[in-house]
Chain A
């Protein structure tokens, strides 16, 4: 890593979100639509930032350790289901409900981690099994009805820009603290790139893995609650209907990895999420059909990956040209 001046680092990290914003604003101008037209647009933007940031954290925590997790969506669904049902029965407000969702989701993550640690089945397969299992649980728990809290104005009232910012900020802060400034985090980072050495040195891998699953689960609990509070309802899904949410996290994860070269990787993920949120907002503002959305998102993912995996070649060509010119 070359030492770069702080300002340059900052500019490079903001490059992607700013570029996305500029391009989208240009398109908006062309279409005669304003990207941030009203409070609803801002709300959509910050909700998307919160959702995507947390989901990407949840995915990357385990993926960085080579543990693929298909169960994220199922965890979010089941925790929101349990928390929502209890909120309905006990009449509790949004914050206690959020706390329950997080606690339940952390527990679900822990169980997932426990099954993995006990059976030693490859994590990707465990996660498939757990995704099915949790979908089944949520269905059985509500008899398939899901949760409807549309009349609970207090819980729906949680969906404000302020709360979204608060939740995102707290989550980013906690995650940065946990993974960069604690013993758990130090051990985690050691395990990520040097599993064998770390274990031989005496780092407790099983404990760390369980911790990761619990944290990842807890994040999905927040995501589940945000979506519950947003629509006031939680729909059920069966037969892997819940795994789609994972795919939204790939692009921000790669963008986060790229930005992470210049600043803290976890902040990078958040900036990646900001870029994605802008795109989501644009889709909504431009009233883009969902098949077009899928294709555009997929193309962006592929294009970014092409750049990432051929950066050396692309940059050296670019530089070579420059040198030739000068």
Chain B
């Protein structure tokens, strides 16, 4: 039996090549604009790590062929409750546990609602997003300290360093990679994403996987929430609100099909998150106006996706 040819393997690396091109562009723009590129690398890590965490977990959900748009709001609620827990107890460990625990609880509600009542996950998460966003405002009201919930910056500063964040990210990716590659879960998830009917007729328990996927992704959300507090300990109603969309973009940027299935990869999320980090650094160095900046960002996004998805032009339009 033969091996895969290089040509057949290229799609798997397209997104990594995309990341490399962006890094190259980053250095070139940096040189032209006389920027502090070394500091910029740190900034990229700091800014991408939360999205990378949440997106890596979300890969499980996307692999199943479903879609979660409440990730940002879930991160926000977890972070707010984590911060309130810290303020009540003064313990970082409690804060960590509350962040992860709240995220897991939300994930559990999400997935069990969807699986007990056979709801389409996407629409469930749309509803969840509005509930969670509203809940964030209510929490801030309860907290009763103006428009923010604060943790003392100096209390979390010891954790606000790159090695710690990278270690958390690496550990979580390793966990996800382990589950995705070395346990049946990943295979089964990819199969469900590829053909749910066939998966069911092959004895795969879809509902169980939907719950597992939500829970694993919830751990990512919890870690993301924890690092959000560590990075910026003053939280408000919009904390982490952009993460929901960032995650979709990161996953697509990372070369994973949004429809999930067999071509799903854990590393897509990290590659995508860091690609976005570099892109936003480049955009900030170019110092274009908000409007033009966003137009160019959108164009580059579409271009990169176009390239990363390769030449799958069928006779039919993609759906």
Residue-wise interface mask of A (124-168) relative to B, using a CB-CB cutoff of 8 A (1 in contact, 0 not): 111011101101111111011000000000000000000000000
Q: What is the size category of the interface that chain B forms with chain A?
A: 35 or more
Residues of chain A within 8 A of B124, CB atoms compared? 302, 305
Interface with B: A102-110, A114-122, A256-264, A273-281, which one? A114-122
Our pick among B249, B294, B317 for the contact of A205 (Cβ within 8 Å) is B317
> What is the CA–CA distance of A89 and B149 in the complex, to the nearest angstrom?
46
Given the known inter-chain contacts A144-B291, A294-B133, A298-B131, please indicate yes or no for A120 contacting B317, CB distance below 8 A.
yes
Given the known inter-chain contacts A125-B305, A128-B249, A139-B290, please indicate yes or no for A295 contacting B295, CB distance below 8 A.
no
> What is the CA–CA distance of A298 and B130 in the complex, to the nearest angstrom?
6
Interface with A: B44-52, B162-170, B204-212, B251-259, which one? B251-259
Decide: A133 and B133 in contact? CB cutoff 8 A: no
Decide: B248 and A141 in contact? CB cutoff 8 A: no
Given the known inter-chain contacts A125-B258, A295-B134, please indicate yes or no for A136 contacting B301, CB distance below 8 A.
no
Our pick among B248, B258, B294 for the contact of A239 (Cβ within 8 Å) is B294
- B119: interface (CB < 8 Å): yes
> What is the CA–CA distance of A139 and B138 in the complex, to the nearest angstrom?
32
Decide: B317 and A295 in contact? CB cutoff 8 A: no
Scoring A130, A137, A292 by chain B CB atoms within 10 A of each residue's CB, the highest score goes to A137
Decide: B131 and A295 in contact? CB cutoff 8 A: yes
- A326: interface (CB < 8 Å): no
Residue-wise interface mask of B (114-138) relative to A, using a CB-CB cutoff of 8 A (1 in contact, 0 not): 0001111001101111110111011
Decide: B316 and A196 in contact? CB cutoff 8 A: yes
- A67: interface (CB < 8 Å): yes
> What is the CA–CA distance of A119 and B295 in the complex, to the nearest angstrom?
18
- A75: interface (CB < 8 Å): no
- Interface positions of B from 102 to 116, Cβ below 8 Å from A: 113
Our pick among A67, A140, A291, A292 for the contact of B319 (Cβ within 8 Å) is A67
Our pick among A67, A120, A136, A196 for the contact of B298 (Cβ within 8 Å) is A136
> What are the 5 closest A-B residue pairs judged by CB atoms, nearest first?
A140-B291, A139-B291, A136-B294, A66-B319, A136-B295
Known pairs A125-B258, A128-B249, A298-B130. 13 more at Cβ < 8 A? A117-B317, A124-B258, A133-B294, A136-B297, A137-B291, A209-B317, A239-B245, A247-B126, A295-B131, A295-B134, A298-B127, A301-B123, A302-B119
Name B residues whose Cβ lies closer than 8 Å to a Cβ of A. 113, 117-120, 123-124, 126-131, 133-135, 137-138, 242, 245, 248-249, 252, 257-259, 289-299, 301-302, 305-306, 309, 312-319
